[in-house]
């Protein structure tokens, strides 16, 4: 990868580009030994793929808005909001605080994030962990 990825490109490919194969989207933005901790719960790349598959089954569309983004060498951090439209028509908005380590090839190697439901159904608070 010549240009390091960022959260906007990753989420757009993972959730908001339905014609893009999920495996291709994950390969594009996440290193083979990728790990993620969301709200204290660790997932490996296989578990992350299951999570994305489940989210794709629930989400019709949405957008990412980055409020703050910092990059220093292989360290990456941001604060972003994800607005989602679910297949049943309801909407939700989640604020995410993310700290990441990038692989030398520019893909995410490790992400640690905390999420905060801003609007939506109470069940939407668990979207970051659903599998």
45 or 125: which carries more pLDDT confidence? 45
% helix, strand, coil for the chain, step of 5: 25, 50, 25
Please state, in angstroms and rounded to a whole number, the distance separating the CA atoms of residues 53 and 116: 21
pLDDT tens for 88-125 read 999 999 999 999 999 999 999 999 999 999 998 888 88
Confidence label for 129 from pLDDT (cuts 50, 70 and 90): confident
Report pTM. Answer: 0.93
pLDDT tens for 1-41 read 568 999 999 999 999 998 999 999 999 999 999 999 999 99
């Amino acid at each position: 990868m010549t240009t390091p990825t960022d959260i906007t490109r990753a989420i757009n490919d993972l959730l908001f580009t339905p014609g893009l194969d999920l495996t291709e989207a994950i390969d594009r933005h996440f290193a083979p030994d990728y790990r993620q901790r969301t709200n204290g719960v660790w997932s490996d790349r296989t578990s992350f793929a299951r999570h994305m598959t489940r989210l794709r089954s629930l989400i019709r569309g949405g957008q990412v808005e980055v409020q703050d983004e910092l990059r220093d060498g292989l360290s990456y951090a941001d604060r972003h909001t994800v607005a989602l439209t679910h297949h049943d028509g309801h909407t939700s908005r989640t604020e995410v605080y993310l700290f990441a380590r990038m692989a030398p090839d520019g893909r995410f190697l490790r992400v640690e994030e905390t999420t905060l439901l801003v609007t939506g159904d109470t069940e939407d608070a668990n979207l970051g962990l659903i599998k």
